[in-house]
Structure 1
Amino acid sequence: MEEKEAFDGEGMLQAQAEIWKYMYQFADSMALKSAVELRIADIIHSHGSPITLSQIAAGIIDSPSPDITCLARIMRLLVRRKIFTVTPQSDGGEALYGPTHMSRWLLHGAELSLAPMLMMENDHRALAPWHYLSNCVREGGIGFQKAHGREIWDYCSMNPEFNNIFNDAMGCTARITMKAIMTGYKDAFCGVGSMVDVGGGTGAAMGEIVKVHPHIKGINFDLPHVIATAPEYGGVSHVGGDMFKAIPSADAVFMKRIMHDWNDEDCVNILKNCRKAIPEKTGKVIIIDVVLNPEGDGMFDDTGLVLDLLMIAHTGGKERTELEWKKVLEEGGFPCYNIIKIAAFPSIIEAFPE
């Protein structure tokens, strides 16, 4: 009797509804992925005004006879998620689908787009490690290694196609974050003569910094297989190597979304190499990473907690609270730091040897 009563009432019904919602939340990602693959945002935005479902279907590339009923059902969910708008016609004609601020982040080829990141995170190879979270609890270890038999960096080096997808994803988020950095932190680069971007990928971030601050001698530093695909940027030299062994010398070290990939011990070792690479008195490290606020209700606080689980799945690293950052920085030789908020999900952690 007590068990039956426990499942009665509005509270339990609401709780059941919430579990159903979370159970199928992956469908949101899959619907977004399909929208990117079909270039729905591009089709709608290119018209300059809302268009019908038939017009969207006609714009889908390599599809002579698209299933409009299937498309309508996907669009219905995306409209509910406010990715697109829909306006019924009073004369009984086809409803018109329009863009939103969110759909602009799904455009291909746009300067600022999250489409490459969305495609990478929803690639079957990136999703497979998520199925190993409970194994990570039971046994420790990294989800990606359990799923694929090797760490993500080794996997990328041996799989050029996935490596390109990964690099495109990192490049698109770099552009978004760099726009926020160049707006909210631009003056801090003025006194820097040389800078090395550790784990800089294909060099997009350093290229942006040097373009705005041409007095800076830029060094883009990453693993050799990453550097091999890097395009040329004026004022930037590409250097292949291993940050756990040595980091090229410069006035400042820049690390965007690198430290979160590694455990505390590895981060301390990276910071010690940073300390060796910069001048003792005037050098600094500029870390672009999440500062977790687990109880916060800020715009990106919830995403930070999800990203922390992504680190378990993909890299074995972690997102950190301010107290956790303080501990790592002090052990790495950087007892002084400032945290600077910017208009993006990570923050700037400016660290100094003294």
Structure 2
Amino acid sequence: MESKNSIAAKYQPAAEEEALTLLKLATLFTVPASLTALIRLGVIDILAAAQDTAAMEMCRTRRFHSASQIVSHPKFTPLSPFTAVDSAASALDRLLRLVAAHGLLDSISTTTGCHAYSIYRISNHLVQPSETSTASIAPFFTLVHDPVLLRCFDHMEQAVMSTEVSPFYRKYKTDFFSYASKDPQFNNLFNMGMVSHSDFLMSALLRIYHGFDGLTSIVDVGGGIGVCCSKILARYPQLKAINFDLQHVIASAPRYDGVEHISGDMFVAIPKADAVFMKWILHDWDDERCIQILKNCLAAIPEKGKIIVVDIIVEDEVERTSESCVAYQLDVMMLAYTGGGRERTKQELNDIALSSGFRRVRFACKVHGMTVMELFKSPV
């Protein structure tokens, strides 16, 4: 007969893994918080500048920097006169090793006993955007970890217990977009975050999706400051492109060759074009308002026109893939920030499209976890 100790030993590894999983989840917020701090401090830029991109592509030796070397770098965010360099380096090393443990940096131990760090290819997308950098998603990290948004998660149980208003509305006594229109600093942060994600996404989307072929004009509804339009025109210069958004957004839009900025309200009317493009718009709104937007889109296009929707799709069954986790996480963000917005299933999006008067829906492709779908006015 087995002793109690031997029986307990059989279950110990599983119990240990469960305990570690729970502790990892409880403290998981430290990873994006640390990564955002490294971006703001200029650490990722310093590590990236030290590398030979061509050499990295060929898997050659990379250069590693210790926290002390980074703190002493001229491009490191200046320390306070009261900050000891050794103390700052010690604290920085603790952030670096956490991020490295999650696979976003490489690390080695030096002969002096300290750690040194280098970037992987994935880290290049966290370099602050510039004329020479690859598509950067760093401003998006900064946006989603801004205190204005993080405060909405202080009491997420309220989103379950009282569904009448979002946690964002409860916190700021106004809706998300009205808040942005009254806070220029946050509005700029939001615009730059959306720019970085659009820049990151559109390069890949335009390589995979060819639904702009044959069009002569397009309007980007909720297009922010016009990055998607500029990317589309770079590939399809024959197009006439309209970037359409609220006045306070258009006010800060730069000039792009071939792009006309028009301000207005998508719930009232949308400029006419062969096709309407919408990225990350429908997920901001409840079904009723999505239908209202789509009806206005329907009125803006000709009989053979179409709507190109780029949005997250949630699978019918709960899955544990990275793609599904991204969808669920964004869905909870919509729960926190909007009054009825959500990520939807294929069936839910299909139902909304048909209820708006569209005759046919085609799910064209996926890129970076987002689905490109086409809504047609004509059944054929």
Do both share a fold (TM > 0.5)? Answer: yes
Map 1:198-213; keep pairs closer than 5 Å.
198-213=221-236
**What is aligned with 1:99?**
119
Letter of the 2:147 partner, please give it: H
Decide which moves more: 201-210 or 79-88: 79-88
> Aligned partners of 1:132, 1:240: CA distance in 2, in Å?
35
CA contact (8 A) 1:219 1:238 kept: yes
Q: Of residues 103, 107, 112 in structure 2, which corresponds to 1:86?
A: 107
Change (3 A) 1:95 1:120: same
| 1:9 Cα deviation after fit | 4.3
**What is aligned with 1:307?**
330
Q: Of residues 25, 30, 33 in structure 1, which corresponds to 2:33?
A: 30
Deviations 1:287-343 (A, max 9, x none): 000111253454422110111101001123000111111111110112311112233
Q: Of residues 69, 78, 95 in structure 2, which corresponds to 1:55?
A: 69
> Aligned partners of 1:241, 1:271: CA distance in 2, in Å?
15
Q: Of residues 164, 168, 172 in structure 2, which corresponds to 1:148?
A: 172
Deviations 1:110-139 (A, max 9, x none): 341111011111010011112242112111
Q: Secondary structure at 2:211's aligned position in 1? A: helix
Q: Of residues 243, 256, 262 in structure 2, which corresponds to 1:239?
A: 262
CA contact (8 A) 1:285 1:352 kept: yes
Q: Secondary structure at 1:98's aligned position in 2? A: strand
Q: Secondary structure at 1:19's aligned position in 2? A: helix
**What is aligned with 1:108?**
128
Give the TM-score normalised by the residue count of structure 1: 0.93
Q: Secondary structure at 1:137's aligned position in 2? A: helix
- Please report the RMSD computed on the Cα atoms of aligned residues, expressed in angstroms: 1.9
Q: Of residues 324, 330, 341 in structure 1, which corresponds to 2:365?
A: 341
> Aligned partners of 2:359, 2:25: CA distance in 1, in Å?
41
Change (3 A) 1:177 1:52: same
- Tell me the percent identity: 33
**What is aligned with 1:289?**
311
1:273 aligns with 2:296: yes
> Aligned partners of 2:136, 2:113: CA distance in 1, in Å?
33
**What is aligned with 2:4?**
none
Letter of the 1:150 partner, please give it: T
1:177 aligns with 2:197: no
| 1:95 Cα deviation after fit | 3.7
1:327 aligns with 2:360: no
| 1:191 Cα deviation after fit | 0.9
1:39 aligns with 2:53: no
| 1:14 Cα deviation after fit | 3.2
Decide which moves more: 101-110 or 187-196: 101-110
Deviations 1:68-116 (A, max 9, x none): 1111111111111112111123x44654311112321210123411110
Deviations 1:12-39 (A, max 9, x none): 4433322221111111111111111111
- Count the aligned residue pairs: 346
Q: Of residues 95, 116, 120 in structure 1, which corresponds to 2:143?
A: 120
Decide which moves more: 134-143 or 303-312: 134-143
**What is aligned with 1:139?**
162
CA contact (8 A) 1:30 1:122 kept: yes
> Aligned partners of 2:18, 2:109: CA distance in 1, in Å?
34
> Aligned partners of 2:313, 2:29: CA distance in 1, in Å?
26
CA contact (8 A) 1:252 1:285 kept: yes
> Aligned partners of 2:350, 2:265: CA distance in 1, in Å?
25
> Aligned partners of 1:136, 1:76: CA distance in 2, in Å?
35
| 1:261 Cα deviation after fit | 0.5
Give the TM-score normalised by the residue count of structure 2: 0.87
Deviations 1:142-186 (A, max 9, x none): 12111111111000000000000000000000111111211011x
CA contact (8 A) 2:125 2:134 kept: no
> Aligned partners of 2:314, 2:365: CA distance in 1, in Å?
12
| 1:52 Cα deviation after fit | 2.4
> Aligned partners of 1:297, 1:46: CA distance in 2, in Å?
36
